[in-house]
Amino acid sequence: MAGGRRGRCTVVVGCQWGDEGKGKIVDVLAADVQVVARYQGGANAGHTVHVGDDEFVLHQIPSGILHDGKRCLLGNGVVLDVVQFFEEHDALVARGLRMGGRVGVSGRAHVLLPYHRALDRAREAAATAKIGTTGRGIGPAYEDKVGRRGLRVGDLADASGVERWLAGALTRAQDLLEALGQDVSQVERETREALALGARLHGLSTEVGSEILTALSSGKDVLLEGAQGTLLDLDQGTYPFVTSSNTTAAGAPVGVGIGPTAIDDVLGVLKAYTTRVGEGPLPTAFPAELDEQVREWGGEYGATTGRPRRCGWFDGVVARHAARVNGLTGLAITKLDVLDQLPEIQIAVGYRTQGGQTEFFPDAACGYDSIEPVYETLPGWMTSTAEARTLEDLPRNARGYLSRLQDVVGVPIRMVSVGTRRSEIIRV
């Protein structure tokens, strides 16, 4: 690029336990970028985006797909469920989206097969200490990747190589499933049906990292779309109640195949309160009545599994942890409107634990169950915020709440979302 502007590369990362509204934020930002890429996870994600009166729930295809002409990539860090991928792809085509030439997948991405899903579900059913997974096969697929026995998109070009690989993979999967008391009579058929999509998938393969770097050097902006959230990160989250990938911003360059110096901004998405689906600690959980009330106001049911999400107050300890481990440069606060009717709102600013008072998110050694949040109470605003398009449009107490969140997290707010629609957004 001779002297022209270099594009900006922004990671959009969830900063709680997932479902922060990453899909909506990526959709809004995608209007101004050329490429959107997923860097980890798989069909465990459920990113809901509203365009006019239409609702789309995206699981593997990046949320940029709803803007015509944007290139959408799945990086090497993704575990790609080939059956679900084409179901999702073809459903979008059926709804009128022009998909041709717009979706690319890394040849280094691992292929997730039906037996990974079966294993995930059988293990959860048998476990006494459950994780509450989405049942999408994520853990078993990443185990095969790390165990160096996985199948990658690039391998699909060699049919006889796949056949040789399959002999070992099927035996292993069947043995594991049988040990869990599962019927394995359909495993080979289902696996072969999935692999029959291999040539179609391989036809979409591309050098994801190179595409991103080329876009940036020709002045085009790029978004790297996180799935799940910081507290579900394999290393930085509430282990073992986490997913099996690095969801945090550092996972982004690894998961698309670029260097960390190519990243310009890290936008952390935080709900104005907290939710969690699946097992594991949620220190700021609401009492039962408020939990139900906020779940209804916020529509807090899992986009992938339909499970009710547990709800709680905004957790400043979690948010500061996310700011640190992601190197956040800005915040997008979502679902402010869900708090419109509350007379008082609490923010956790610290924790009391067995080991004393702390402002840092502890590891399991403190005993997650012993955490007692230290709250500050702020006045609510008892007015609708859905129509606000600038900070000045917001009621004074809503501005006060946002200002306190920003101080507690120590990162500037760049966007505030006040509804599901594209237009329901405040840019700061």
Classify burial at 4, counting beta carbons within 10 Å of its beta carbon; exposed 0-12, middle 13-18, buried 19 or more: exposed
24 lies in the site for ligand GDP, by CB under 6 A: yes
To the query of whether residue 315 is one of the catalytic residues in this protein, the response is no
Radius of gyration of the chain (CA): 22
Q: Does 316 bind ligand GDP (CB under 6 A)?
A: no
Q: Which stretch binds ligand GDP (CB under 6 A): 113-121, 182-190, 374-382, 416-424?
A: 416-424
**The one among 10, 134, 182, 230 contacting ligand IMO by CB under 6 A:** 134
Q: Any contact of residue 378 with ligand IMO (CB under 6 A)?
A: no
- Tell me the angle at which helices 159-179 and 187-195 cross, rounded to the nearest 10 degrees: 150
Evaluate the CA torsion angle 96, 97, 99, 104 in order and state its sign: negative
- Please tell me whether residue 353 binds ligand GDP under the rule CB under 6 A: no
Number of residues binding to ligand IMO, judged by CB under 6 A: 25
Of 305 and 406, nearer to ligand IMO (C-beta) is 305
Range in contact with ligand IMO (rule: CB under 6 A) among 11-19, 81-89, 259-267, 333-341: 11-19
Smallest gap from Cβ 277 to ligand IMO, in A, equals 5
Residues 22-51 that bind ligand IMO (CB under 6 A): 44-47
Report the candidate in 314, 325, 311 with the shortest Cα–Cα distance to residue 363.
325
Residue 136 contacts ligand IMO per CB under 6 A = yes
Of these residues, 47, 59, 67, 116, which one is catalytic? 47
Confirm or reject binding of residue 46 to Mg ion (CB under 5 A). yes
Site for ligand IMO contains 243 (CB under 6 A):
yes
Q: Min. distance of Cβ 295 from Mg ion in angstroms?
A: 15
Asked if 54 is an active-site residue, the reply is no
Q: Counting contacts by CB under 6 A, is residue 350 touching ligand GDP?
A: no
Question: Which position among 105, 119, 227, 262 is part of the footprint of ligand IMO (CB under 6 A)?
Answer: 227
By CB under 6 A, is residue 84 in contact with ligand GDP?
no
Residues contributing to the site for ligand IMO (CB under 6 A): 14, 17-19, 44-47, 131-134, 136, 138-139, 227-229, 232, 241, 243-244, 277-278, 303
- Which residues contact ligand GDP (rule: CB under 6 A)? 14, 18-24, 46-48, 50, 299, 303, 334-335, 337-338, 417-420
Provide the annotated active-site residues.
19, 47
